[in-house]
C-alpha cells in the first residue's frame, strides 16, 4: 500500500482546513473506538472539501451512496439550506444505527433520509434529479453505479467519487476490487458527456461534472 502523502503534511493540511464541529469530532472518535473498518470515515479534510463543494454548487438535492456512520452526510447537511435534502443509501443496519444516533442529535438531521438495502436497488427506485451525488460504497459496483447515477444527475451537476486511487493499487491492480476502480476511472475519463478531475486528496477523489 502506498502512503500517498507525508503524514506530517496530512496533519498540516488538517490543521489549516475548516474544523469539524464537536458532534463530528465525537462521531469520528466513536467510529474509531466501536466500529469495524473505522478508516472508512470521511474525516475532517475530506469533510471540509465536501462542505465546500455543496456550498459552491448551491446543491439542494443530494444523493449519497454509502452512509457508514454518517460523517459525510452530517457534514453536507450542515451547509444545506433548510429545504435541502440528502438521501443516503446503506446496507448495514449496525452502521445505520450509529449514524441515526448522531443524526438525531444534529439540528440538521431532519435533512437526511436513510434508505436501507443494496444501493443499486434503492437507486433504481428513486425519482427526480440530483444536484450533487457522493459515491462512496462498494467499489466492485462503481461502474454499475456510474451507469445508474449519471441519468439522475442534473446537467451541470456534480458527482464526487471517493477512493479512486484505492491506496495506490490502481497502478498495479491485482484483486477484483482493484480492477473495478481502474475500470471506473477509465470509464469516466473516456466519457465525453462529463468533465473530470482526479484529485490526489486522501485516497483519491474524482470530481465529475455532467455537461
Ligand atoms: C466507505 S463507507 C462510507 C463512508 C461514509 N460516506 C462516511 O463519510 O463516513 C462505505 C459504506 O457503504 C456501505 N455499503 C457497501 N456496499 C453497499 C451496498 N451494496 N449498498 C449500500 N451500501 C453499501 C457500507 O456498509 C459502508 O457503510
Domain count, the chain: 1
**pLDDT digit string, tens, across residues 135-163:** 999 999 999 999 999 999 999 999 999 99
Give the CATH number for residue 40. 3.40.50.150
The closest-lying atom of ligand 1 relative to the alpha carbon of residue 95 is 27
C-alpha cell at 7: 503524514
CA of 87 to the centre of ligand 1 (A): 13
Q: Is any ligand 1 atom within 6 A of the Cβ of residue 92?
A: yes
**Domain interval for residue 27:** 7-210
Mutation probe of ligand 1 site: the residue of 29, 78, 115, 137 with most atoms within 8 A of C-beta: 137
Residue 188 domain-assigned (yes or no): yes
Task: Give me the helices (H) in 133-211, please.
Answer: 142-152, 176-189
Per-residue confidence (pLDDT) for residue 1, from 0 to 100:
53
Low-confidence ranges of the chain (pLDDT < 70): 1-2
Residue 182 domain-assigned (yes or no): yes
Separation of alpha carbons 97 and 114, rounded Å: 10
Give me the half-sphere count of Cα atoms (radius 13 Å) on the Cβ side of residue 42. Answer: 34
Residue 2 domain-assigned (yes or no): no
Measured by CA distance, the residue closest to atom 18 of ligand 1 is 118
Residue 1 domain-assigned (yes or no): no
Q: Please say whether the beta carbons of 77 and 109 come within 8 A.
A: yes
**pLDDT digit string, tens, across residues 101-123:** 999 999 999 999 999 999 999 99
> Which is nearest to 20 in space by CA: 81, 86, 72, 94?
72
Residue 38 domain-assigned (yes or no): yes
Burial label for 113, CB within 10 Å (0-12, 13-18, 19+), is exposed
Amino acid at each position: 500500500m502506498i502512503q500517498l502523502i507525508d503524514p506530517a503534511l496530512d496533519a498540516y493540511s488538517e490543521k489549516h482546513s475548516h474544523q469539524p464541529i464537536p458532534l463530528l469530532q465525537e462521531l469520528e472518535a466513536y467510529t474509531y473506538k466501536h466500529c469495524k473498518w473505522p478508516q472508512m470515515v470521511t474525516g475532517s479534510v475530506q469533510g471540509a472539501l465536501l462542505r465546500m463543494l455543496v456550498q459552491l454548487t448551491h446543491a439542494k438535492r443530494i444523493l449519497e451512496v454509502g452512509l457508514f456512520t454518517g460523517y459525510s452526510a452530517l457534514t453536507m447537511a450542515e451547509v444545506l439550506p433548510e429545504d435541502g435534502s440528502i438521501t443516503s443509501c446503506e446496507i448495514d443496519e449496525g452502521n445505520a444505527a450509529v449514524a441515526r444516533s448522531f443524526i438525531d442529535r444534529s439540528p440538521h438531521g431532519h435533512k437526511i433520509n436513510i434508505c436501507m438495502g443494496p444501493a443499486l436497488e434503492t437507486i433504481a427506485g428513486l425519482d427526480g434529479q440530483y444536484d450533487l451525488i457522493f459515491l462512496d460504497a462498494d467499489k466492485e459496483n462503481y461502474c454499475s453505479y456510474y451507469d445508474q447515477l449519471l441519468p439522475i444527475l442534473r446537467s451541470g451537476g456534480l458527482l464526487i467519487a471517493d477512493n479512486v486511487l484505492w491506496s495506490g493499487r490502481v497502478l498495479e491492480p491485482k484483486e477484483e476490487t482493484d480492477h473495478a476502480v481502474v475500470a471506473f476511472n477509465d470509464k469516466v475519463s473516456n466519457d465525453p458527456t462529463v468533465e473530470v478531475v482526479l484529485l490526489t486528496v486522501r485516497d483519491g477523489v474524482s470530481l465529475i461534472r455532467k455537461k
